[in-house]
Amino acid sequence: MKFTLKHSLSRRNFFILGIVFVVLTLFSIYILSSLITQISEKSNSTNSLRSFIKKQEVLALEFSRFLEVQKEITQIIEISTSNNLSDNLKVLSAIHANQNLVKNNWFQINDGKIEFSNSKKNTNLTAEINDFIAKNGDKDKFNTITKDGDNFFWRIYIKSKAINGEIVRYGYDIDLKELRFYFSTVDQLAENYAFVFDKDGTILYHPEIKFIKQNVFKITDVVASDTIFAPKKGFTKRTALSEYLKLDIVRYTQRLKVDDTDWYVCVNFPENIANEDVNAIKKYASLIYFITTAILLVFFYLFAIFTRKSFQEKEDLAKEKNKLSLENEKIKKEKALIQLQQLKEQINPHFLFNSLNSLYMLIESNTKVARKFTLNLSKIYRYLINPPEQNIVSLKEELLFIEKYIFLQQTRFKEEFEFTITIEDNNALLKKVPYLSFQIAIENAIKHNIASDENPLKITIIIKENMVIITNTLNEKQNFEKESKFGHKYLKSIYNFYSKNDFETFKTDDFFVCILPLID
């Protein structure tokens, strides 16, 4: 399209039009930015309140779960007789003792001997529990905070009565330092932090370990009056300097809704976080777009005759840049496909050889299982030889595949592996993950760790709203060949292609963790 301009339009007139254009543009942006700011501030306040309510509910739920042991005790009593009650309680005690958060646990039937889990028993603890029962043994349930040197515990105590009249007392201590690590895996995406303290101000949980056991009234601006709430609101709100972030924060304080406790929770938000009302922002952003576009069209109409050559050069440069960008994306995709093919070639022979060996052993010993084994093996290979075009599949498809893969592994290795799959958000099943991502994570866990009947490899898959977290216990093989991390490189390539940069793997003292973000 050719643009014409009358010769009567002088450079001076063009300069004046340019100034008018700038003034109109700045004025429009100023007015609309003010509107957006007002909406953002209102939305930020609403979202922070909503997030506070959600956060305290999450903490209350997690703390309440530790009190559900009473249900377990009741169930044990209902299924037990006088002859096997002690043995059944020992089993329950052993299960609790294997949990990382449990430091001490014990039980007593009637006024008999106090039984401890084998690894926890010591003379000092026996004397302490005897003294504790003497003071609190007549209560049906009780929990308190206790100290042991530098350690700090939440003690939970339950008393139940069997049908035959036997009295069962059961108790265990939660390590509050270990509880801090546990809560770091809960609600990871929250744009806030929280801490819990009791009525005396002693901090029971805080994301910074050095603050545990300290008095909240001394290290923060929280005052005793914050724990006395107005009936209508049920919480207090104040702006303060964070003892943790060293930033200005908005702090909500409320009583924690956990039975038989007198605890309080503080949820803290950085004051400068703006969680905007998306719909309103879109509305005014569109308005900005149309006004700015209209002004720019007038300006470019007048300016086109003077800059035609420069505009053409920039347009050619942009086309070349887009072409290079498309070629680069194509190379990334081809690289991911090559890695996938290499990965499949690496998996198939080894996996097939071991599976056929297992099938051979099953044919004579257990025909029914052998048939199921064969059917699952065929479905696995049908899945392997038909990769998706875009290298991603729905979470539901990948989950169905990995369940078959797990069946084959557990059939081969019996009690050497323990798998747990938890779905926290069913809507996540419609989202996407890289093809074979679950198999890569589980195969790496099996490949790099020692597993046995006595010390099984525990693998957990947790499906959240926007991610899948796969963890396995660590018992690494010694002198293992250097890791190629080929599978992880493949996954990273897929996520890079889809502009996802939050895929990660890391180790803790006891676990290896793989976080797979979900693709919408």
Q: How many C-beta neighbours within 10 Å does residue 245 have?
A: 12
Q: Is 274 helix (H, G, I), strand (E, B) or coil?
A: coil
Q: What is the C-alpha to C-alpha distance for residues 3 and 507, in angstroms, rounded to an integer?
A: 64
CA distances in angstroms from 333 to 328, 385, 391, 432, 441, listed in the order given: 9, 19, 9, 17, 21
Distances in whole angstroms, Cα of residue 166 to Cα of each of 134, 264, 469: 18, 36, 44
Q: Looking at residue 9, what DSSP letter applies? A: -
User: What is the maximum alpha-carbon separation in the chain?
Assistant: 111
- Token pair, residue 233, equals 């609101």
Distance CA 442, CA 402 (A): 9
Tokens 């599949």 map to which residue? Answer: 393
- Write out the two tokens for 266: 């503080």
Q: Is the separation of the CB atoms in 120 and 126 below 8 Å?
A: no
> End-to-end alpha-carbon separation of the chain, Å?
41
The three-point CA angle 498-496-506 to 5° equals 120
Among the listed residues 503, 487, 484, the one whose alpha carbon sits nearest the alpha carbon of residue 495: 503
Q: Give the number of residues written for the chain.
A: 520
42 three-class SS: helix
pLDDT at 3: 40
pTM of the entire structure? 0.43
Q: Residue 518 contacts by C-beta under 8 Å, 6 or more apart in sequence?
A: 395, 428, 431, 432, 433, 466, 467, 468
For residue 343, the model assigns a pLDDT of 53
Residue 154, SS3 per DSSP: strand
Q: How far is it, in rounded angstroms, from Cα 72 to Cα 70?
A: 5
Please name which of 296, 227, 232, 303 lies closest in space to residue 265, comparing C-alpha atoms. 227
Half-sphere exposure of 225 (CA within 13 A, CB side): 3
Write out the two tokens for 239.
């702006």
Q: Which of 307, 311, 305, 299 is nearest to 25 (CA)?
A: 299
pLDDT < 50 positions in the chain: 1-9, 274-278, 342, 345-346
pLDDT number for residue 330: 63
3-state SS record for 408-461: HHHHHHHHHEEEEEEECCHHHHHCEEECCHHHHHHHHHHHHECCCCCCCEEEEE
Q: Which residues contact 488 (CB under 8 A, 6 or more apart)?
A: 440, 444, 505
Q: What is the pLDDT of residue 429?
A: 92
Structure confidence at residue 279 (pLDDT): 52
Beta-ladder partners of 361:
none
Q: What is the reported pLDDT for 6?
A: 43
For the beta carbon of residue 105, count every other beta carbon within 10 angstroms: 23
Residue 300, both tokens = 């470019």
- Is residue 500 within 8 Å of residue 360, measured between CB atoms? no
Cα–Cα distance, 444 to 466 (Å, whole number): 23
- Which residue type sits at 508? T
Element (H, E) at 168: strand 167-175
Answer for the pair 174, 103: CB distance below 8 angstroms, yes or no: yes
Tokens of 246: 């060293």
Cα distance between residue 467 and residue 431, in whole Å: 10
Instruction: Give pLDDT, residue 37.
Output: 60
- Residue 399: what pLDDT? 93
Report how far residue 462's alpha carbon sits from residue 515's, in angstroms, rounded to the nearest whole number: 10
Per-residue tokens: 385 = 């030889």
